[in-house]
Amino acid sequence: MRFIIQKSENPDKWVCTDTVNNIVCIFENGNFNNTQKFSILEDFNPANYMGLAKIAKEMADWLKENHYDKIF
Owning domain of residue 11: 3-71
Among the listed residues 60, 65, 9, the one whose alpha carbon sits nearest the alpha carbon of residue 32: 60
What is the rounded distance in angstroms from the CA atom of residue 16 to the CA atom of residue 8?
9
What is the rounded distance in angstroms from the CA atom of residue 33 to the CA atom of residue 46?
25
Q: Render pLDDT for 29-72 as a digit per residue (tens, 0 to 9).
A: 999 999 999 998 887 777 777 788 999 999 999 999 999 999 99
Q: Render pLDDT for 11-37 as a digit per residue (tens, 0 to 9).
A: 999 999 999 989 999 999 999 999 999
70 contacts 29 by C-beta, under 8 angstroms: yes
Q: How many folded domains does the chain comprise?
A: 1
Question: How far are the Cα atoms of 31, 32, 44, 45, 67 from residue 6, in angstroms, in the given order?
Answer: 16, 14, 23, 27, 11
